[in-house]
Amino acid sequence: MENSTQRKRRCRKGVIVKNILFAAVSIPLILLLYFSCEKEFLNEKKFSEEMQREQEEESQEKMNEISYEEEIEEVVSVLKSDEQEQLQQTAKLAAEECADLYKDIKVLDTTFYQLEQRTKEQRREVVSRIGGLGFVSVSKGINMANYEKVEIFYSEYSDGKDAQVTIYEIYGDGRFGCRTFLYRAGKLQVYYVEITWQEGGVPILSHTSVWDLEEIRLTEKGYFIYTNKIKISHGNLREHYRIKPLAEDCRALTEKYISGLSYIDYNLLTVDWNGSNVEDIIMDTMFGDIYHMHTGEYLKVHGGRVDAEIFEEIMTIYFPITIEQLRHCCGYDADSDTYECDLFSVRPYAPFGEVVDYTENEDGTLTLFVDGVWPDYDSDYAFTNQVVIQSYEDGTFCYLSNVIEQKEMEIPVIKK
């Protein structure tokens, strides 16, 4: 018979063997689960980045109070305390003049003052009201009121004189971001005042801050581009405003046909093409943007592929291309009946197109004259495009051709 010591040894050996067998079975299973989850995570991450495209564009206009203050806590304002208080008071008084326009404001989160988005027409009315008070005011997609005051500020700065100007920017959710640009004693700064809203249209001061600028520039076409000394939260080293007005019809054409297209993710806008060589510019990286134009929603991709039915339906509307051509050039897989589809996250201030003129052609097509604006390089005339569009009665349209010409910057090269 076994003594107690032998039984203990046998039991320990049994436990060890069981643990080894358990590990041998479990580790491959854990690794499989891990990599499956990781793959799914990456797919969802891409989708999440796409879903947040407009929010990221809006958030770069706003300040993140806590982290922003940490970044610039050592910056000393060139303004005296009473001057700062005066700017705060002026901003609040200007907002009070618009209180009736905010009576319907909805506060989604009282802790962080998250507000429901305002329509473009609502924001336009606020810009007009603030402009009528004599202040410089602007909002995304809306011409700046009293822009001449920015030109005067820049002229005085260029002459080495002390100068300042305040720009009231109306954010998408209705907040006021009031940036006072200062040049004093050879130093460039921004003093920032943010006004938010309570239910019933009650404005309150939510945030103030100050930061140094590296440089400012006003381009001939009317872009005011400024460079921050440090990269601020939810912002960039380079920021900009369009100062001079853009014709409303050009704004509308830009929003419908050009906004959302990329100069750096695919070559739709960066090479000359027409119906004879359209296959050269069809890339899987463009589908997410075209899908958003067509549906107003952001594409969700599983495993880097999209169903052929939706891909072919949309691409044959927006480009003069056949299904056979698509299957030849776009990574079509017959077994799964899907196409490759790669999504890019937002890249702020890469070049963007702006329609500055257009021609209605005799054959019913439209030729858009587009300037490439590249604020990161102080350029509002990086290159020019002539994009020909065919519009349809159902509101859809087809890109028929593109011609690009280099101006201030080299044309980006995108490899297919």
* 349 has pLDDT over 80: no
Residues 110-137: b if buried by 16+ CB within 10 A, e if exposed: eeebebeebeeebbbbbbebbbeeebbb
Q: Give the separation between CA 377 and CA 316, rounded to whole angstroms.
A: 36
From the list 352, 353, 351, 360, the residue with the least C-alpha distance to 389 is 360
Q: Token pair 């007009």 is at which residue? A: 128
Q: Token pair 């695919």 is at which residue? A: 266
Structure tokens, 77? 């304002």
The mean-pLDDT minimum among 12-16, 116-120, 124-128, 156-160 falls in 12-16
From the list 377, 376, 381, the residue with the least C-alpha distance to 353 is 381
Q: Give the separation between CA 375 and CA 238, rounded to whole angstroms.
A: 7
The pLDDT value given to residue 128 = 98
The pLDDT value given to residue 24 = 47
Higher pLDDT, 22 or 208: 208
Q: Say which DSSP state 302 is in.
A: B
* 78 has pLDDT over 90: yes
Q: What is the DSSP string of 244-298?
A: S---HHHHHHIIIIITT--SSSSSTTTS-B-GGGGGGT--GGGHHHHHHHHHSS-
Cα 253 from chain centroid?
Answer: 19
Q: Give the separation between CA 174 and CA 196, rounded to whole angstroms.
A: 8
238, 376 Cβ separation under 8 angstroms = yes
Local confidence band at 228 (pLDDT 50, 70, 90 cut-offs): very high
The mean-pLDDT minimum among 59-73, 305-319, 354-368, 369-383 falls in 59-73
Q: How many CB atoms lie within 10 A of CB 239?
A: 20
Helix (H, G, I), strand (E, B) or coil at 373: strand
Helix (H, G, I), strand (E, B) or coil at 412: coil
The pLDDT value given to residue 233 = 63
CA angle 260, 263, 269 (to 5 degrees): 95
The mean-pLDDT minimum among 65-69, 250-254, 283-287, 341-345 falls in 65-69
Round the average pLDDT of the chain to a whole number and report it: 85
Averaged over 192-221, what is the pLDDT?
Answer: 95
